[in-house]
Structure 1
Amino acid sequence: MSVGKQRLEQQAARLLAAIIHDELQDPRLPMIIGIERVDLSPDNASAVVYVSTLERIDDTVEILNHAHRFIQDELAHRMKLRRIPRLRFVEAV
């Protein structure tokens, strides 16, 4: 994996954690959601976001996938990329 891609994935993970914590106002979400890692596709068109939490992981993943458009828009404001990847949230294993 290239250093540039790894940096982008790490930056995306940090920003996504901040967006989820600071911007999402869904009371169904647990207080603590961890972004374990982000895997970008080679063309940066899509990303798989691995999340963990101490409770209600299935509900959490469903809520985040439902809110992916909002989260992508927020990510677009914070990252300097030509193309913001389409996000898909999954449970970290």
Structure 2
Amino acid sequence: MQRLNRISEELKKEISRIIMNELKDPRISAMCSIVSVETTPDLKYAKVYVSIFGNNEEKENTLKGLKNASGFIRKKLGDAIKIRYLPEIHFALDESIEHGARIAQILNEINKKEEGE
């Protein structure tokens, strides 16, 4: 289990580095960050959760660009990380940050209403 966590963290760092420094796709937003990586126990698949700041169109374009570049990213990962099986990468949108911001906004509105009464 600990080995799996270490591999997931290493994948997260390397994928972030590759997206920032080596990808040249104009669809991929500069406001894109890797939130977490979940790797299956057999190391065949890795689900990469991505947080993208922007409107829905920017999010869709960035996700398409990342999915399109997953083969390139996997190849670069193979050069950087030496493990027997390199997982197949699947990107998923992580909206927990926006969800948390929305909850904070609602709580602030409730506090303002209570103070006004």
How far is 1:31 from its partner?
1.1
Tell me the secondary structure at the aligned position of residue 38 of structure 1: strand
Matched, 1:57 2:59: yes
Amino acid at match of 2:3: G
Structure 1 residues without counterparts, runs of 5 or longer: none
| 1:39 maps to 2:41 | no
| Contact 2:28-2:63 within 8 A present in 1 as well | no
Give the Å deviation of 1:43.
0.4
CA distance in 2, matches of 1:27, 1:4: 35
Name the one with the larger helix percent: 2
| Gap runs ≥5 in structure 2 | 96-117
Kindly indicate whether residue 16 of structure 2 is the aligned counterpart of residue 12 of structure 1.
no
| One-letter code aligned to 1:78 | A
- State the structure with more CA Rg: 2
Higher relative contact order (CA 8 A, sep 6+): 1
TM-score by length of 2: 0.75
Q: Where does structure 1 differ by over 4 angstroms across 4 or more consecutive aligned residues?
A: none
How far did residue 16 of structure 1 move? 0.2
State the identity %: 29
TM-score, structure 1 normalization: 0.94
Let me know the Cα RMSD of the aligned residues: 0.9
